[in-house]
Amino acid sequence: MKRCPFLLLILLTIIFYGCGKKIESRNAGPSEKTIASAEQLFDLGHTPSERQMMRPALETQKQNFLSLRKMAFKNSEGLALRFDPELGYPDFSTEEKGPEFSPAENIQRPDNLNDLAFYSIGELGHLVRTQQVTCLELTRLSLNRLKKYGSELECVITLTQSRAEARARHLDSLLNRGQYLGPLHGIPYGAKDLLAVKGYPTTWGATPYKDQHVNETATVIKRLDAAGAILVAKLTLGALAMDDVWFGGKTRNPWNTEEGSSGSSAGSAAAVSAGLVPFAIGTETLGSIVSPATRCGVTGLRPSFGLVSRNAAMALSWSMDKIGPLARSVEDCAMVFDAMRGADYKDPIAVDRPFNYESDNDLSGVRIGYLKSLFEEDHFGAEQEREALQTFKRAGAHLVPLEFPLQQYGVENPWDLIIILTAECGAAFQQLSLSQKDDLLVRQRPGDWPDIFRAAQFIPAVEYIQANRARIRLQNMMREVFQSVDVYMTPSLSGPSLMITNLTGHPQVVVPSGFIKENQPHSVSFVGGLYDEATVLKVARSYQDVTGWHLKHPPGFID
């Protein structure tokens, strides 16, 4: 019993010393008036005595915050916490048969090499493999087109010419020795300039970082190097991955250069659409592949969360960022994805999963759902979306009408969970905001990054955690959805699907679906089960092969 006062002293020391900082008095901390004012921001209501009691704890928290800010984290430093898209799912298949891509037959070298500008990866690959066209010829074709049209489209930040030409010569020498690296051997491409490439600037499209060099090459770039692809340019993105305005201008839509290309994978979509590169790498956190692909009339794949390493890529939201290809066709996307995917010790989120893609159009047994109410309502592009649905009906596909059972899972509005993204991007760029260097960003309107970063500092950690608990409900809901369908169709940018699937990590393929009016392409999207890129790509390809919208190209860029 004599030891009890000593134990009590230890307990009091733990309570009143926060991170080694002693609370000097009960009067320390913000005033009751300040606390009451802050409560109004968060719809809280405490009594005067409760506010008085909180003052020391709030002061301790403030000192903790200030100490953490002194650490000045780099964007590349991640979290101890990680989002797991597999929560609640049974074990996933590990049977790896590998993808089966369509053979390219009867492809001959054209008289005019400029005609190759809109060939598919499969067609170009056949010409390279049969040595009708050299890797260096393809590389210089892309470089010349990037130089010719890049300024008009404002889609290029840095040409990687010396790297590209050296790589092309090496790949040609491999072919001369009988070594062929696969379908991407000798294929030029561009990368969104939030992927680091050693020896070149990595600007993130933003003025504060326009001279930034990262002494590392992103895993995605390394894997594409290993597959034989040739990086020819680092392409524009809306500053810090929002929209299409960057420090050098506004990236243009090749179908209508009076308007922007949308974003944030702005340059990637524009360059593919205009035939400057056969494919490009983009990223998506909330629509940054889907939206520019729609605007520019190209095909895009947003893979399942975690299937592609994000090492040496700018972090915007650690639990939502994904890297994927934009290309001329679904199968082109499949080829690029196959080269990029897989676990990476430098990105603890990245995982290995089978990719057993089949190139045939046999959809027997594939249950294709569609979000019925969205296809019935009138919104921008609804006519083209309904026609896409009719295409499957005419083909005799097994279509299953469905709706998201949000009420059943207690999630009234999935867009409320956007605070997850807001809080994470606010942390990723807190130093930019606190230093007031966010004033250097081109856009300074309500809803632009400077405004969002500042507002993010007011999101309570408790509410961020609650939003992530609601996120699990969405994961459970999507598991139920994919018990009745294998893939579902959805308008690309209307309704809650885009928000839901970026939160749950499900893959989405966006494909051209016609034109709303002359030179204004539209799209429809297909969403697949978690890690089931093979099925969603197969279904999307079957639509693409029937319609042929992906074969249309902006007339102003056809030489």
303 versus 19: the higher-pLDDT residue is 303
Which neighbouring-strand residues pair with 55? none
Q: Which ranges of 119-160 does DSSP label H, i.e. alpha helix?
A: 121-129, 135-153
93 is catalytic: no
Closest C-alpha among 250, 139, 218 to residue 185: 139
Last residue of a domain, one of 35, 69, 103: 69
List the 230-235 sheet strands across, edge first.
Answer: 156-159, 230-235, 188-192, 279-284, 322-327, 299-302, 508-517, 520-528, 487-491, 368-371, 399-402
* 23 and 165 fall within a common domain: no
Distance of CA 336 to the CA centre of its chain: 15
First and final C-alpha spacing in the chain? 93
Q: Give the amino acid at 281.
A: I
* 500 and 384 fall within a common domain: yes
Average pLDDT over residues 494-518: 97
Cis peptide before 513 (omega within 30 of 0): no
* 305 and 376 fall within a common domain: yes
Average pLDDT over residues 530-541: 97
* 60 and 120 fall within a common domain: no
What is the pLDDT at residue 1? 44
Residue 436 inside a domain? The answer is: no
* 130 and 18 fall within a common domain: no
Is pTM beyond 0.85? Reply is yes
pLDDT digit string, tens, across residues 453-463: 999 999 999 99
**Is residue 409 pLDDT above 60, yes or no?**
yes
Domain hosting 350: range is 113-406+466-557
Closest C-alpha among 252, 282, 230 to residue 510: 282
The CATH number for 123's domain is 3.90.1300.10
Closest C-alpha among 226, 168, 218, 163 to residue 196: 218
pLDDT digit string, tens, across residues 69-103: 999 999 999 999 999 999 878 788 888 999 999 98
Average pLDDT over residues 283-301: 98
Both tokens of 23, joined, read 């609370």
* 479 and 355 fall within a common domain: yes
* 149 and 284 fall within a common domain: yes
Q: Which of 19-28, 196-205, 411-420, 527-536 has the lowest mean pLDDT?
A: 19-28
* 127 and 26 fall within a common domain: no
**Is residue 218 pLDDT above 80, yes or no?**
yes
Dmax (CA) for the chain in angstroms is 99
**Is residue 388 pLDDT above 50, yes or no?**
yes
Distance CA 250, CA 263 (A): 10
373 is catalytic: no
- The C-alpha angle 240, 334, 534, rounded to 5 degrees, equals 110
Instruction: Using the CB atoms, write b or e for 180-195: b if 16+ within 10 Å.
Output: ebbbbbbbbbbbbbbb
**Catalytic site residue from 120, 142, 265, 288:** 288
Distances (CA, A) of 215 to 28, 212, 281: 46, 10, 20
Given pLDDT bands bounded at 50, 70 and 90, which one contains residue 8? low
Helix, strand, or coil here: 310?
coil
Given pLDDT bands bounded at 50, 70 and 90, which one contains residue 148? very high
Last residue of a domain, one of 34, 50, 69: 69
Average pLDDT over residues 373-402: 92
* 210 and 287 fall within a common domain: yes
pLDDT digit string, tens, across residues 542-552: 999 999 999 99
Residue 416 inside a domain? The answer is: no
* 62 and 137 fall within a common domain: no
525 is catalytic: no
Q: Are 357 and 533 in contact (CB under 8 A)?
A: yes
**Catalytic site residue from 120, 261, 262, 264:** 264
Other CB atoms closer than 10 Å to residue 176's CB: what's the count? Answer: 10
Residue 52 inside a domain? The answer is: yes
What is the pLDDT at residue 27? 54
- What domain count does the chain have? 2
Residue 310 inside a domain? The answer is: yes
What is the pLDDT at residue 105? 78
Residue 89 inside a domain? The answer is: no
Other CB atoms closer than 10 Å to residue 87's CB: what's the count? Answer: 12
**Catalytic site residue from 120, 192, 309, 317:** 192
What is the pLDDT at residue 546? 93
Residue 361 inside a domain? The answer is: yes
439 versus 95: the higher-pLDDT residue is 439
* 133 and 64 fall within a common domain: no
Helix, strand, or coil here: 401?
strand
Distance CA 281, CA 177 (A): 30
Residue 337 inside a domain? The answer is: yes
* 123 and 12 fall within a common domain: no
Q: Give the amino acid at 185.
A: H
Average pLDDT over residues 53-68: 95
pLDDT digit string, tens, across residues 198-209: 999 999 999 999
397 versus 303: the higher-pLDDT residue is 303
Percentage above 70 pLDDT, the chain: 95
What is the pLDDT at residue 192? 98
Residue 78 inside a domain? The answer is: no
